[in-house]
Each structure stands twice: as structure tokens, then as C-alpha cells.
Amino acid sequence: MKEALKKLELLFEQGRLSRRAFLRRATALGLAATLSPVLMPRQTYADTPKRGGRLRMGLNGGATSDTMDPGIQLAMMPQTLVYGTLANSLVEIDGNGQPVPELAESWEASADAKKWIFKLRKGVEFHNGKSMDADDVIYSLNWHRKEGTKSAAKPLVESIVSMKKEDAYTLVFEMAQGNADFPYTLSDYHLVVGPKDTDLASGVFTGAYVIKDFEPGVRAFCTRNPNYFKSDRAWFDEIEILGINDVNARTNALKTGQIDVMNRCDLKTVHLFKRMPGIQVMRQDGSKHFTFAMRTDTAPYDNNDVRLALKYAVDREQLLKTILRGYGRVGNDHPISVANRYHADELPQRQYDPDKARFHLKKAGLSSTTFKFHAAEAAFKGAVDAGVLYREQAAKAGITIDVVREPNDGYWNNVWMKKPFCAVFWAGRSTEDMMFSTAYAKGVAWNDTFWDHARFNELLVAARAELDEKKRRGMYVEMQRIVSDEGGAVVPMFSADLSAASDKIQHGKLAANWELDGFRAPERWWFKS
């Protein structure tokens, strides 16, 4: 029994098991789950934070086309620079995955969640010395709403009907429909606040650090903001962010002490890092996942028995072990992870079952069909190998899969949402509504399975506006079941984010909404005393 409890505790610590699931499984085993030390409150900081030093970060995703425009942040380096270093949003996500006030002081919603009142924090200064007020917030959000905008955040804010300033520090939002997740939406890394009537690409914001030098894709250098409104953040004197796209180069830079932090460790060699003195490996189990997307508007994938056959034909555990080397968790054919509030851990986990796969294929009236599966490393690292494994697994069910290796160049333009069955990477989203609305709602631009389910669409609108937590959870559980049983995506695995740092780096509980503590490592971390 003790060994069973230890196993559950490990899964809980790794983020692979929710508190709810932990308690349920432990109770079923007759164990005193409520007394488990992993459920007890913990000290937030392992060490008393101190100020000083230069944090040197080696990150991937840098490009010469990078900009500090918050609307078009596409990769890790500019995202960390703007959102994690220079700027703030009205709301931020903490280490428990909860929305907490940042530039906002508080908020409240109407009963139908269509009207939201936000009280703004007073005494916040931009890097240029201007005091922040409601006009700045309105201007910054309209940056993503204006005609001709190229902002990736446009879908997040287009449901805002109006923004009205009640006074200098009070904003009233009117929504086209109820949205109980609106505070989460305003935590998005694009939706930072800059001064009114300025070019937001200038890098002038309210954040912990001030930009001093910016070479797109190469280097960014920042110094601490002496007027930062958070007294318990911004521990470093300076931040240096280096664009190092090659994982081997990032690894060597950390090994040799040229940098203090790197993201996206090589899964093939990360075990060597773990044994190396002076290096710590940090794991975040967030919402990043891989899918095998089927176009449900195209035969034979318009038949749900075909889709179920292909879902039962994949050995998720083997893929997790081989492709991700265990750094992740198996998926259940829906995109909601254990990091999400309403993850349906009560749903039965779909298992590899060649007999059930064969049954559903026969039920669909197919016996000799060959399924062409399109993949490239551009989809995700190991996508082609995953396809080969999938082919071998499906063969045991009498299913023939032909793996078509596509060029990396142009994959997202020429294969994704073009070919009827292909490998896909999703970073995930911080809320169920954002994920479902982006990729599963009828007619949205990134619905890559071209799925249209009446009950799901009905629940999507209803759950968005539901403020009763119990009712809302029930809706999202049903939606996850519908997607798992009837959706067009095989979701075999979720990938953990692995970063590494000098053991001189200290931090609190890591936020899992984005890499490196929700991109906020520069603001939240510090050097060990």
C-alpha cells in the first residue's frame, strides 16, 4: 500500500495527476490521502530571494524578423522578452494556474458574464515616466482590434463590444456573449499594456525591466526598472537574452557557463544533464500536445467508426516512451490537459486495442483501405518516427497506414489543413474555452479536423457564460467526452516542457501556462544567496 501511495505522490508532484484524481485513487486503495505530505501547504520559496546579478538566457525561436510588437509574438525569444521581461497584462497566471491581478487590482462580472468591471492598479508608471490609466488599457487592447491588424490576439478580443472608462482607474467591458473566462483571456501574452498614442513595438511598457539594446533574433539586453510596482519581483539587476536556435549550442553554452538558463532540452541527452554537477533540469507539465488530425469532411474520415478504429490502433504508452522518452503523459483523444481547471480525469483512458480497432473498421465497411498519414519534423520533433510506430501498431489490427514524409519547408501551408490525415503540434491554451474555441468550434480558422458537432457547439457557448463552477465543469467534461469519442483528432500524448539552468538559479512554484514559468522567469527568478 505504501508503494502505491508513493507512486501516486510522484504522479501528483509531476503534475500528471490532479488533486481530485489523487484523492479518488488513494481513497479507492483505502489510503489516508488527506494526510499525504504532497497535499500539504509548502513554502513558496526554497531560499530567501535577493537582488543582484545578470541573468543570461539562451532561447530558441529568435529570428531577424523579430519585433517587440506584442501582437505578433511568434516564438520563445520575443515572447520572453516582451511578456516576461518588459511588459505586464491586466491579469497574470500564478503557479497554481489561477488568474491573479496584475495591472488590474480587481474585477467583477454580471450574472450573465457579459459585463465585466475592472479596477486598475494606481501608481503604475511606464518606462517613459507616464502614469498608467484606463485610456492606456483601451488603446492597448484596441491595438489588436483595429482595422488591418495582423495581431494573433484579434480572435481573443473581437467579442468585446465596447470598452468604457468610468473613471481613470475603472474600465467596463461589454461582451457580445457571456465569457466566464474573460480574466484568463486578458492574461494572454499578446495583451500587454503600453502608453496611449505610442507605437507598442517600441518596447515601452510597465514591466520589471527596461530595454537597452535589441538585435532581433540575436540579443536583447535590459536593466531593472527602478520604479517597478511589484516590490517582490525583478530580483536581477540585468537580463540578457540570447537567440540560440540550435539545441546543441544551447546545451554547450549552459555546460560551459556562458548562459544561466536554456529552454527545450534535447530529450535524447537530458538524462546526462541530470547527472551533471551544477545543473538543474526543470519539468513543466502544461498543455502542449501532439495530434494526428483527420478531416471529418473527407471520406473515409467522415465515418466515426473509422476515426474510432484509428484511435484504438495507437499504442500511446509506446509513443510516450519512444518519442518523448517518458517526458509527458498519454493523451485521451481530446486537447484538455491536467494543467487545465476542468480536466476530465474521470473519463476512462482509451487503451491500445487492436481487436476494437478491427471491430470498428469492419463496422465502417472497410477492410483493405490504406490510410495515408502525412508527417514532417516541422510538425513536431519525432513526428515521422511516431508515424512509423503508428504504422506498426495499426498493422496488428489489420489497418494499413502509409507514412508520407513531407518536406519541412511549407508544411504548415501545404500539409496542415490540406491533407486529410496528418501530424500536428498544438501549444495548448490556458483555458478549455480558448482551446476548444480555437481548434474545435464550427467554422473557426484553425479547426483542423473540420469538425461540426451540434451538441458540442451548443455546450461551447453555454459553458463560456456559465458562472456556476459545478455546472460548468460538467459541461466541459461532457465536451471532452464528445471530442474523445466522436472528434476527428487522435491525441496520443502531451509533451512536458524541459528547461535547464545553473543550480545557482532559484524560483518558486513554476507556472505551467507557458514555458519557463509562463515566460516570467526574468521577473520571478533569482540567484541563490
Cβ neighbours, 10 Å, residue 150:
9
Which domains does the chain show, CATH number per domain?
2-39 (no CATH), 49-87+207-284+497-529 (3.40.190.10), 88-198 (3.90.76.10), 289-495 (3.10.105.10)
Do 63 and 216 form a contact (C-beta atoms < 8 A)? yes
DSSP state of 39: G
Please report, as a single letter, which amino acid is at residue 230. K
Separation between Cα atoms, residue 59 and residue 245, nearest integer Å = 7
Separation between Cα atoms, residue 228 and residue 36, nearest integer Å = 39
11-15, 39-43, 167-171, 462-466 — which one is most confidently predicted on average? 167-171
pLDDT of amino acid 32? 37
Separation between Cα atoms, residue 345 and residue 332, nearest integer Å = 10
Could you give the C-alpha distances from 305 to 316, 317, 443, in angstroms and in order? 19, 23, 23
Mean local confidence (pLDDT), 176-199: 94
Question: If we measure between CA atoms, which residue out of 139, 151, 140 comes closest to residue 192?
Answer: 140
Mean local confidence (pLDDT), 479-503: 96
List, for residues 110-126, the tens digit of each pLDDT value.
988 999 999 999 999 99
Separation between Cα atoms, residue 264 and residue 496, nearest integer Å = 10
On average, the pLDDT of the chain sits at 90
Least confident residue range of 5-14, 125-134, 181-190: 5-14
DSSP string covering 255-306, please? HTTS-SEE-S--TTTHHHHHTSTTEEEEEE--S-EEEEEE-TTSTTTTSHHH
Separation between Cα atoms, residue 83 and residue 79, nearest integer Å = 6
Do 352 and 317 form a contact (C-beta atoms < 8 A)? yes
Mean local confidence (pLDDT), 288-293: 96
User: Between β-strands 54-59 and 238-243, what pairing exists: parallel, antiparallel or unpaired?
Assistant: parallel
What is this structure's pTM? 0.77
